[in-house]
Amino acid sequence: MPKYLLLKHYRGAPAAVNDVPMDQWAPDEITAHVKYMRDFAARLVETGEFVEERALAPEGTFVRYDGEGKPPVTDGPFAETKDLIAGFMVIDVDSYERALELAGELSAAPGAGGKPIHEWLELRPMWGEPLVITE
């Protein structure tokens, strides 16, 4: 079965219908949103379509090898995923059509005022097999 990555964005995607930043939501609105996400994932566990999901912490660092003896860490003046990507979910489904269906459903998670966000999610197919360390 093909695997797909669903990316939730802070910004960079087109604006959601209910485009109120999460830091402006009431605590019960955040709780309802998280519950929706967990319930969605639990249903996919039952159907065998769930692989993994994570919310991402706001901090992060770009790392690059700059040569022998030079410090490898750099944060440059460019858009960084820590500013753009809020979280992800990996699904394992029978078809692209099913991935679209699930992404549409996830887009309806509640936000401010308890209304669906109708956020844009990025759907990306995953290639190949994961690297496995056997040590």
pLDDT of 116: 93
Partners of 121 in the beta sheet? 8
Long-range contacts, 29-33 (Cβ 8 Å, 24+): 29/110, 29/111, 29/112, 29/113, 29/114, 32/110, 32/114, 33/109, 33/110, 33/111, 33/117
pLDDT of 135: 66
Residue 22 identity: M
Architecture of domain 3-58+84-125: 2-Layer Sandwich (3.30)
Profile the chain (135 residues) by mean pLDDT over runs of 10 residues: 80 77 91 94 95 81 72 59 72 93 92 90 81 67
Give the residue extent of every domain in the chain: 3-58+84-125
Candidates 134, 133, 119, 129; CA nearest to 21 is: 119
